Structure 1
């Protein structure tokens, strides 16, 4: 039976590229998100300035996986609905039969995500709890039990610098808000606990911080000119995707667990991405 990777938030961006990277390595891939078909609209979803939904869908990612000769399972999942998350874990195990690698990449991206502290509401904080704490933990619990039965498995949780440091400027002026920072801080703590509690039974767990990645979501948030301005010190989605593949397949002894891996310098240090280098400050 082929190995299976389960990638959440795989309709676009880092999740889509990670799904394709594992497919290139011979994995069959289960993918989840809310957007099944191109152009769908969802409550609390990020959109372009004109209100149009971002490009990308599970159907499109599945077609790209299948074009690489691998099998794809489409697993619809809403991070804000615990029943949907539990059903997704059950569906992937029922249909794929196993999960060797879980990548918790999906995030809540509502317009209230980075509001200033005094503007936050209980509803926003409830959504942060559901998307950033409850959903990843439910998936980890369900799939870690399955991995432990086989004595092998990898879980990768995708965090952000916002979860590990203070914003340089206030929310609304280019910094992140408390809700997003708190959400990612919860994600940052998950892999270390998994490694400490379950590492002796064959499970490996990693926390990665992709840094600034040039995705559709980033462009929708800061615009084309903003993306160009951030080119120095940023990376395409293929860089975090290849780092996650490297951790799953190459770090068999788990030497890089129990810390947050900053993807871009790590990729350079380990020479993981052959055709990429961090742009120098002098490059325009």
Structure 2
């Protein structure tokens, strides 16, 4: 098995846990990439497991299950770990019982509330935490209210640092870009919970009783997916189907262990001896 640069990648055949990014890695918006279904089946045929780890907090796990099923992927809650779930856990562990003001989608708010978090979406003097998510339902009123809240003495968190989210025509601003907008207005920067923080990877490994040596992360972004693997001590594959280009990889201090054009090439490499 050889990667895009000619590097021997046979060690990937021994992996039993595949942590897959979603946007730009297995699909683009609503279009599944060629080879995705085949790769997932091959992982299962080998007795392995796959978990989708996504920074996109605009959708709940139930939303994602419906989305991928519409693409032909038969998945359940066990196949997902999102920045929304990681955020809920982080809030429970670090700010238990505190009221959270959230600038995010209705799905994010509902998921946090289902996890027992007290969430408000209007200016509230009792809220001691401000949480920013990838808000695809954003309005000028939400932005104004968030700026009001950030003018107070509050903890400031964000679900993920991604600057853009890939869509059918290119990209749209993601949570990281929204945080820059708010920084320009308030001077404040959040602590980001999702990738590249290793929180999500550590939680999945513990839950599935897997070792780092058994695990590989597949993603399209150097500063989130690949950096997460670097921080977590897990092997990484960068696919060129999303944000990162070969030029980006050459210029970046963050380097993937392997590079493939797409998940289709990973599948073909895993099955080359069959």
Tell me the TM-score normalized by structure 1.
Answer: 0.36
Name the one with the larger strand percent. Answer: 2
Q: Which has the larger radius of gyration?
A: 2
Q: More relative contact order in 1 or in 2 (CA 8 Å, sep 6+)? A: 2
Name the one with the larger helix percent. Answer: 1
Tell me the TM-score normalized by structure 2.
Answer: 0.37
